[in-house]
């Protein structure tokens, strides 16, 4: 076990590395060449132009102004300068509320730290069991400050119990206030939004097939009957998954073509070549530019065919529709009510905003969802508890003997002593490292298989899975020795009261481990986050090999976004650690405080300058944050109970039994009080906005406004592409006009394949706004390309 | 342990007593004097007149027709004659679906019994561990037929596991079909209903107080704004709880007056006297008729005062309203949506039908509901696990020594030997017997404290509590020795895998106990139900002492109703027993079959001839029945797993692990598929009925139709009382006309205190239907008096 000095050394190293990251960041960010890596948000907002356009050649790339180097930490006050309402306008409510989690952490833990240190440390130290009685045992200095130092049966445990009560009430009080604030922020945000497509639109799933009638007619008929006063029109959804795949492949080939053309331009004497086989590694050698051009041509033909298929085959229309209403009231009503006798048909729900729709999952048949959910739940369970099994298997293969067998020619190298020892230390952990690195991706894929139709929901589901994984494998796994599977086994074979005792008793001993964890993962990790090493490298690589025009540079810029599925669960782990150790080993709290403060600054900076959120869910993740902090409270109470019962504090422990009951009741109350604000849309709100709309813009053409809002982005993307893509745009012609299905070079007017409720009249009123939906201010006129994160497949 | 012969004797005794009950019933039911006890439903339906009106004096009371005595079991075929749809018309959907639980039991258990007996008995018997190896042990014959007889590690356990799978699938298949049928029956029932007040009405709770505005205005304003096209009007709710209490007291005094007047009529020479003290036991002697008349006069004055208070004090208007809409669609929308920003305000829900409203709980402030629920949950938990503690305490007091101390004059009597032995056998059990007898009442009171506002919900909640009590104390309590509290202790201190083993291993040994239980509680109990001993006695007592007119006789008649809070949980216990023992000790199944068949016949007869349901919930209890049968399946699977693991069937037990997962998934699917039909009202349905209404009766006066529907029954009751009550009727004058607040003897036109949305115009359109709401065909023109069951307090 570590002494205080060990902790000090570790803290020093981690502070040093965090400092190094910050320094590197400070140096890199003021170089003009990195401007698009560290300030992409401002480019997207249109508030910043490339600094490279002005000045001489050198200052285009390197900052020569010495003054700026002297104040290298000035991003911190800059990050604090924006007010919360400005952040909401600048980056959306999701980001603003995300930052509030950190301030909530500070609000909870600052007073907690002060109280715990002032009261508990004297109580623990003065008791002095460990000082006097067990000198022979190896006891860390940290332990002397913790509850372990208190003698069994001591009445001092009443102090700990009282503080547990105090901390619980304090946390609940802040949680209540915060939930209240966030809920009203959400409602205000929704209320203050300008007219948006999703306010009028409901997504309908599981539209029944009526023989002899198209999906579109069925939908029309149904809503005209059941919402006669409010129904406006609907947009059908096409199964464009295959098409999207082809487009992705074409984009990849286009990248290769660009790369080769650029190479040729730079070295005009040598035409680049490539090989036709897998990844260009083998096969016959051909001229690269011709080859890729040919390939793209072929693909374009296939795309045209596929587009014909989408138009002609009725099967490509999915039993899903985006139904729009004349008023927000009508949409709110439809979203919240059951439509059909059969509760599995005509399922209505709020439409997500168009950017948030995960189109691919709209094609999943509704009946398979139950099965999918079951399978994924079982898989997540297996992943959490048995993930060590395949990794151990891989590890057993990936040792040096295995490697030598597979690759005997490496033997002389491996047998070198320093390489051997390096590999022996490195290889066994490699499989685990790789697994942990790809884990978020695996969890996201699992969530996708579950069949949710919104990116925001997918991210929340992935975050939940990641949280369970961390809870079991990082928190419990670090406290109890043995794999998660062994824990599961002992959990099943121990009594329910024994389990908290087993864990509770080990908790104080693991404080040093978690302090180190906080410093490595929290401090250094967050400082690494601000450096953006990966986007930095990728941007410069792209810049070097692919960028020809300013627009290409725009595309090469990857602002990224807050990685909710990873950051929120880790945050919740810090809350858990803080709450659990507050009473047990309060010395851990200052480390958590530093984490929250640093992370707050870093994310504030990133949100202001870097990230560009893909969607806006209006803080829909908050209920999860709230309920997991509540869960942390209950876990801490149970563990403290277990810990105290091993301390033979029999007359004080029962006092704690009430606390979980109270905490859970508080949770239930909050859920009842606030959660509807995150799930439903009150009619009162809808009506107020409707009336306001009617008075301010009495003659709005809502239908025209909504017409293209829910068009598959694959059809929108082409709008901004070059003329060569004109033929695919034909897919956007209304089906009723598909006799004229190849407007080869007409770029100005083409109408999308949506279903309007007057199929006989030509959709001539769409011609004035043929491109992207009017309500989204896409950066530089181009819709998001969905290439920024790992969370969305590149169509 | 009982041998087969013991079981035979027990069966013989119980069959005999059941037979005796049936015989007594057969004799009593054909006596004209008992006609109103055994055929009240027909009186209420108006299809039967008192047989005593015709014939000579003797045949008015005793049946002299010998032929009818010969066919004393002919009620059975009679009970079978009605078809299900006739039963629905005759007694409502609740009763019809209640009977379906019994047919479901038969459908599940008849094939199960045949398969289990044919396959398992040979498998268990031929293995013969108990026959040959353990002759020295006392082993019952029943055990030789059970799974205990199979040798450990035998591969025969695969047969048991296969059958568990088979039975689970069979049960789930039937459950699915039944849920489907019941759901569509419910929807058809709702669709086929004629126009009813609850279809257009929504109950709104937690109306906010706006200073300077009445509740009524607030409601009007809110719904006019947010449902402008659909809102019709609303009815406020008065806090008449105190008034109702006074009315109850007046009714009781009226009974005493009637009794004394009748006594005086029969013995005109002697004026009856009473004492003024508690229960007429002490105090000064007074003339009874004068005394009660005076008391009633006083009470009437207080009632008039109270009524003035209700009218004048704004506090007596509760923040609750019944809001009616112009169409079913409008009501369906309002019931299913969130109205206000603050999700704890303006809570809308379907209005129950007027008979189903539990008025008293409407006065409970909404904020206290969370606390009430928490307190009641804790109390129920305590009641289930610690109920033995106070009873043991009472028992320790109520022994013979204690009795002798309290009442020394009883000593000579008690010391008599046979009396002493009788009391010693009787007294200790007395407290427990009394507790079990009043338990349903206690649970119902608890449910009322929880604050539900519908009788049907109250009954369902009480049923749930009773089920948990039976599960823990009857099922588990009989299997594991020791009190429930000891079980809880061992449950908390055993591992989760150990608990099913402990119970599983005892299960086969308790088969004989449960067989006896089924015969006593099931067979004889059900036969006792048909005899209706308690209502029989009470009716004749009332007839003797209180009945003056034919209407009094009508009032003395107590049809009762299916006692859902008691019968459904016991039914679920039988399902549990059958499913658990199907694989373990299949010989128990035939006993269950007999129970289901007999109970089906008895309840069919009672529902047709006797019971008069207080409300119609359209089978809202079905989801609970379904989910508890699912719970029984899971319990049986876990216990079988535990049992097999003690049999060292290590290679077969893991096969069972999948089964609970599958069962629970099935449950989730069913919940998703069918439960909305029981919780929501699809807009499609509403629209269909609206359109039908509009075409058949285009000029309906809906407002007039709905005007008095949700008037507190206390105000409706007076309509049918005599002229002396004219002054209380003033309360029914519209508040806006309360300046003329004492229309002393005008009986024809009085308007109820509802809030119409044109408060200035006189409610003259109500005069044509001033009494009970038109949609309920109350028997003999009088609304239900709520005096029939123990479930509703006598106002």
Whether residues A681 and B338 touch (CB distance < 8 A) is answered with yes
Interface of B with A in 600-639 (CB under 8 A): none
Average pLDDT over residues B302-311: 79
**Closest-CA residue to B250 (of B655, B569, B759, B718):** B718
For residue A551, is pLDDT > 60?
yes
Q: For B374-389, b where at least 16 C-beta lie within 10 A, e where not — what string?
A: bebeeebeebbbebbe
Rg for chain A, CA atoms, rounded: 30
The reply to whether B674 touches chain A by the CB within 8 Å rule is yes
Percent of chain B surpassing pLDDT 70: 75
Tell me the CA distances in angstroms from A632 to A406, A635, B229, B354, B665, one per residue in order.
48, 5, 48, 46, 28
What Å distances lie between residue A305 and A273, A316, A736, A741, CA to CA?
A: 30, 13, 19, 12
A659 has pLDDT over 80: yes
pTM of the model: 0.78
The pLDDT value recorded for residue B73 is 67
Write down the pLDDT at residue B719.
42
DSSP state of A518: I
Output the CA torsion sign for B205, B210, B211, B217. negative
- B684 and chain A in contact, CB less than 8 A: yes
- Check A494 against B495: CB less than 8 A apart: yes
Contact B339 A684 (CB under 8 A): yes
Q: Which stretch of A438-442, A554-558, B287-291, B674-678 has the lowest confidence by average pLDDT?
A: A554-558
The residue among A674 and B709 whose pLDDT is bigger is A674
| Rg from Cα positions in chain B | 30
Contacts of B491 in chain A (CB under 8 A): 496
Mean predicted lDDT score pLDDT of chain A: 76
Is A495 in contact with B497 (Cβ distance < 8 A)?
Answer: no
Residue B158 has pLDDT above 60, yes or no: yes
Q: Which residues of B touch A638 (CB under 8 A)?
A: none
Q: Check residue A614 and give its pLDDT.
A: 80
- pLDDT value for A769: 39
B328/B685 Cα distance (integer angstroms): 9
ipTM: 0.74
What does the alpha-carbon distance between residue B506 and residue B502 come to, in Å, rounded to a whole number? 7
Confidence band for A719, pLDDT divided at 50, 70 and 90: very low
The pLDDT value recorded for residue B655 is 79
B492 CB within 8 Å of a chain A CB = yes
Q: Judge whether residue B754 has pLDDT over 50.
A: no
The percent of residues in chain B predicted with pLDDT above 90, rounded, is: 12
Rounded percentage of chain A residues whose pLDDT exceeds 90: 12
For residue A82 the two structure tokens come to: 């924006």
Q: Is B669 on the interface with A (CB under 8 A)?
A: yes
Tokens in use for B710? 């949700």
The stretch B641-669 carries a mean pLDDT of 81
What pLDDT, on the 0 to 100 scale, is given for residue B729?
39
Question: Among B463-477, B478-492, B506-520, B676-690, where is mean pLDDT lowest?
Answer: B478-492
pLDDT tens-digit readout, A326-366: 888 888 888 888 888 877 788 888 888 888 888 888 888 87
pLDDT tops 50 at residue B613: yes
pLDDT band at B135 (very low <50, low <70, confident <90, very high): very low
Length in residues, chain B: 795
Q: By the 8 A CB rule, do A628 and A470 touch?
A: no
How high is the pLDDT of residue B114? 93
Which chain A residues are Cβ-neighbours of B668 within 8 angstroms?
370
What local confidence, expressed as pLDDT, does residue B759 receive?
37
- Range with the poorest average pLDDT among A180-189, A235-244, A693-702, B646-655: B646-655
Provide the 8-state DSSP code for B222.
Answer: H
B695 touches chain A (CB under 8 A): no
pLDDT band at A596 (very low <50, low <70, confident <90, very high): very high
Among partner residues B341, B495, B685, which is closest to A685 by beta-carbon distance?
B341
Give the pLDDT score at A722: 41
Q: Which of A659, A629, A630, A632 is nearest to A644 (CA)?
A: A659
Q: Given an 8 Å threshold on Cβ–Cβ distance, is A495 in contact with B495?
A: yes
Q: In this predicted model, which residue has the larger pLDDT, B73 or A176?
A: A176
Contact partners, residue B636, CB within 8 Å, separation at least 6: B164, B576, B579, B580, B582, B583
Interface check A661 vs B, CB under 8 A: yes
3-state secondary structure of B285: strand
Q: Is B607 in contact with B89 (CB distance < 8 Å)?
A: no
For residue B769, pLDDT beyond 80? no
- Backbone angles phi and psi of A154, in degrees to 5: -70, 150
Report the residue of B349, B495, B661 to disrupt the A interface, i.e. the one with the largest count of A CBs within 10 Å: B495
Which DSSP state fits A53? G
The predicted structure's pLDDT at residue B776: 37
A622: pLDDT strictly greater than 80? yes
- The C-alpha atoms of residue A463 and residue A101 are separated, in whole angstroms, by 15
Over residues A36-84, the pLDDT tens digits come to 777 777 777 766 665 554 555 555 566 666 666 666 667 777 777 788 8
pLDDT given for residue B213 in this prediction: 82
C-alpha span between B784 and B561 (Å, rounded): 13
Instruction: With residue B349 as reference, give the H or E element that holds it.
Output: strand B347-350
Cβ of A680 and B338 within 8 Å? yes
Distance, in Å, from the CA atom of B628 to the CA atom of A81, rounded to the nearest integer, reads 59
Per-residue model confidence (pLDDT) at position A243? 80
Percentage, residues of chain A above pLDDT 70: 75
φ, ψ of residue B712 in degrees (nearest 5):
-55, 130
pLDDT digit string, tens, across residues B413-458: 767 777 776 666 666 667 777 888 888 899 999 999 988 888 889 9
| Contact status, residue B740 vs residue B230, Cβ threshold 8 Å | no
Average pLDDT, chain B: 76
Please tell me if residue A45 touches chain B, with a CB cutoff of 8 Å.
no
Yes or no, beta carbons of A683 and B226 under 8 Å apart: yes
More confident residue, A652 or B532: B532
- Residue A181 phi/psi, 5° resolution? -60, -50
Cα–Cα distance measured from residue A320 to residue B356, given in angstroms and rounded to the nearest whole number: 40
In this structure, what are the phi and psi dihedrals at residue B348, rounded to the nearest 5 degrees? Answer: -105, 145
Half-sphere exposure of B692 (CA within 13 A, CB side): 12
Question: Residue A70 burial (CB < 10 Å; 0-12/13-18/19+)?
Answer: exposed
Instruction: Read off the DSSP letter of residue A52.
Output: G
> Does B494 contact chain A (CB < 8 Å)?
yes
Which has the minimum average pLDDT: A725-739, B204-218, B401-415?
A725-739
Cβ–Cβ gap B338/A336 under 8 Å: yes
Determine which of A507-521, B151-165, B256-270 has the lowest per-residue pLDDT on average. Answer: B256-270
Assigned token pair, A414: 């491996």
Alpha-carbon distance A733 to A243, whole Å? Answer: 16
Q: What is the pLDDT of residue B476?
A: 81
Q: Spell out the SS3 assignment of A314-333.
A: HHHEEEEEEEEECCHHHHHH
Chosen for mutation from A228, A341, A499 (greatest number of chain B CBs closer than 10 Å) is A341
Burial B36-75 (b: 16+ CB within 10 A, else e): bbbbbbbbbeeeeeebeeeeeeeeeeebeeeeeeeeeeeb
Q: How far is CA B197 from CA B90, B194, B350, B358, in A?
A: 20, 10, 11, 16
CB B205 within 8 A of CB B347: yes
Using a CB-CB distance cutoff of 8 angstroms, which residues of chain B are in contact with residue A450? none
Which of B208, B341, B450, B660 best probes binding to A when mutated, by most A CB atoms within 10 angstroms? Answer: B341
**pLDDT at B60 exceeding the cut of 70:** no
| pLDDT value at B738 more than 50 | no
Residue B657 forms contact with A (CB below 8 Å) = no
Q: How close does chain A come to B197, measured CA to CA in Å?
A: 21
Label residue A103 exposed, middle or buried (CB < 10 Å: 0-12, 13-18, 19+): middle
Task: Tell which wins on pLDDT, A376 or B512.
Answer: A376
**In angstroms, rounded to a whole number, what is the distance separating the alpha carbons of residues B713 and B783?**
8
- Read off the pLDDT band of B174 (50, 70, 90): very high
CB A711 within 8 A of CB A752: yes
Contacts of B336 in chain A (CB under 8 A): 336-338
B493/A497 CB distance under 8 A:
yes
The pair of three-digit structure tokens given for residue A168, joined into one six-digit string: 């619980």
Report chain A residues whose CB lies below 8 A from the CB of B497.
492-493
Q: Given B332, B341, B343, which is nearest A337 (Cβ)?
A: B332
B79-128 tens-digit pLDDT: 777 888 888 888 888 899 999 999 999 999 999 999 998 888 888 777 65
- Residue B612: which of B74, B3, B95 has the closest Cα? B95
């Amino acid at each position: 076990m570590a002494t205080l000095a060990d902790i000090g050394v570790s803290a020093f190293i981690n502070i040093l590395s965090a400092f190094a990251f910050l320094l590197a960041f400070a140096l890199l960010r003021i170089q003009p060449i990195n401007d698009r890596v560290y300030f992409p948000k401002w480019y997207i907002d249109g508030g910043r132009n490339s600094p490279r356009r002005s000045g001489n050649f050198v200052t285009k790339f390197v900052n020569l102004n010495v003054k700026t180097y002297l104040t290298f930490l000035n991003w911190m006050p800059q990050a604090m300068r924006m007010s919360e309402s400005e952040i909401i306008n600048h980056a959306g409510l999701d980001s603003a509320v995300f930052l509030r989690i950190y301030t909530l952490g500070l609000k909870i833990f600052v007073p907690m730290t002060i109280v715990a240190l002032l009261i508990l440390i004297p109580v623990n130290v003065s008791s002095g069991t460990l000082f006097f009685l067990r000198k022979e045992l190896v006891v860390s200095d940290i332990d002397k400050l913790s509850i372990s130092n208190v003698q069994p049966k001591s009445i001092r445990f009443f102090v700990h119990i009282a503080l547990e009560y105090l901390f619980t009430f304090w946390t609940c009080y802040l949680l209540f206030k915060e939930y209240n604030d966030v809920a009203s922020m959400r409602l205000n945000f929704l209320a203050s939004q300008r007219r948006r497509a999703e306010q009028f639109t409901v997504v309908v799933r599981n539209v029944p097939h009526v023989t002899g009638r198209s999906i579109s007619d069925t939908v029309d008929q149904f809503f005209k009957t059941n919402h006669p006063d409010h129904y406006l029109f609907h947009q059908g959804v096409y199964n464009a998954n295959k098409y999207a795949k082809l487009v992705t492949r074409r984009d990849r080939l286009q990248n290769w073509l660009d790369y080769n053309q650029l190479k040729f331009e730079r070295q005009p004497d040598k035409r680049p070549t490539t090989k036709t086989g897998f990844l260009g590694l083998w096969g016959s050698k051909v001229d690269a530019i011709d080859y890729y051009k040919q390939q793209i041509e072929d693909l374009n033909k296939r795309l045209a065919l596929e587009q014909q298929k989408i138009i002609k085959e009725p099967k490509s229309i999915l039993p899903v529709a985006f139904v729009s209403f004349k008023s927000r009231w009508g949409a709110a009503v439809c979203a919240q009510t059951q439509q059909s006798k059969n509760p599995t048909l005509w399922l209505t729900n709020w439409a997500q905003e168009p950017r948030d729709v995960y189109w691919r999952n709209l094609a999943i048949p509704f009946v398979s969802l139950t099965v999918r959910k079951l399978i994924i739940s079982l898989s997540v369970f297996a992943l959490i508890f048995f993930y060590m099994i395949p990794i151990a298997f891989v590890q057993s293969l990936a040792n040096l003997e295995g490697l030598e067998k597979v690759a005997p020619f490496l033997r002389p190298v491996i047998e070198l002593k320093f390489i051997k020892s390096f590999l022996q230390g490195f290889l066994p952990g490699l499989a685990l490292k790789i697994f942990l690195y790809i884990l978020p991706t695996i969890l996201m894929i699992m969530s996708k298989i579950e069949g949710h139709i919104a990116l925001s929901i997918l991210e929340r589901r992935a975050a939940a899975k990641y949280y369970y994984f961390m809870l079991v494998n990082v928190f419990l796994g670090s406290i109890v020795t043995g794999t998660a599977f062994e824990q599961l086994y002992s959990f099943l074979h121990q009594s329910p009261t024994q389990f908290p005792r087993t864990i509770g008793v080990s908790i104080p001993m693991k404080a040093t481990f978690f302090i180190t964890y906080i410093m490595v993962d929290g401090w250094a990790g967050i400082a690494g986050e601000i450096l953006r090493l990966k986007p930095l490298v990728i941007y410069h690589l792209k810049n070097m090999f692919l960028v020809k025009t300013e627009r290409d540079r725009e595309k090469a810029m990857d602002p990224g976004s807050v990685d909710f599925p990873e950051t929120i669960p880790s945050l919740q782990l810090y809350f858990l650690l803080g709450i659990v150790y507050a009473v047990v080993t309060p010395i851990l709290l200052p480390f958590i405080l530093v984490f929250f403060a640093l992370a707050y600054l870093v994310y504030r900076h990133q949100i202001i300058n870097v990230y560009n959120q893909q969607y806006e869910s209006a803080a829909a993740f908050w209920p999860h944050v709230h309920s997991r902090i509540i869960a942390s409270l209950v876990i801490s109470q149970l563990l403290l109970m277990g810990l105290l019962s091993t301390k033979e504090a029999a007359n004080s422990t029962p006092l704690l039994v009430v606390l979980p009951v109270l905490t859970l009741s508080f949770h239930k109350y909050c859920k009842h009080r606030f959660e509807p604000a995150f799930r439903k849309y009150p009619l009162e709100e809808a009506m107020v906005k409707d009336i306001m709309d009617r008075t301010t813009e009495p003659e709005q053409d809502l239908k025209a406004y909504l017409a293209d809002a829910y068009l598959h982005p694959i059809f929108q993307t082409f709008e901004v592409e070059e003329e060569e893509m004109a033929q695919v745009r034909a897919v956007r012609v209304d089906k009723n006009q598909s006799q004229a299905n190849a407007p080869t070079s007409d770029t100005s007017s083409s109408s999308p394949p949506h279903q309007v409720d007057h199929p006989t009249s030509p959709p001539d009123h769409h011609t004035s706004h043929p491109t992207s939906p009017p309500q989204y201010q896409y950066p530089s006129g181009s819709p998001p390309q969905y290439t920024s994160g790992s969370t969305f497949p590149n169509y």
